[in-house]
Amino acid sequence: MGKVVDFTKTVSELVSENPEIKEVLAEAGFKEIIKPMSLAVMGKVMTIPNGAAIKNIPMDKVFETFEKHGFEVKTETS
């Protein structure tokens, strides 16, 4: 089984499970959330879809970036 990223979890949970996710998030456009202070504060409540909506980052781009790095994306509907 490959790497799975669950978009229903908070960013903090995802990064603690797999630190590689920080780099993927940065590439997808979430440069601020990967800073230690932002991750400690906002990462505890922010999910990737919520962050994408706030930052106006298309979810297609987020999915593509994670898939490019070998992740299978899990959402509440998948």
Per-residue pLDDT at 22 = 94
Q: What is the Cα–Cα distance from 68 to 55, expressed in whole angstroms?
A: 21
Tell me, what amino acid is at 18? N
Helix (H, G, I), strand (E, B) or coil at 35: coil
Is residue 76 over pLDDT 80? Answer: no
**Ranges of each domain in the chain:** 3-71
Task: Report if pTM > 0.85.
Answer: yes
- The stretch 48-60 carries a mean pLDDT of 96
**pLDDT tens digits, 30-53:** 998 878 999 999 999 999 999 999
What CATH number does the domain located at 3-71 have? Answer: 1.10.3910.10
Per-residue pLDDT at 69 = 96
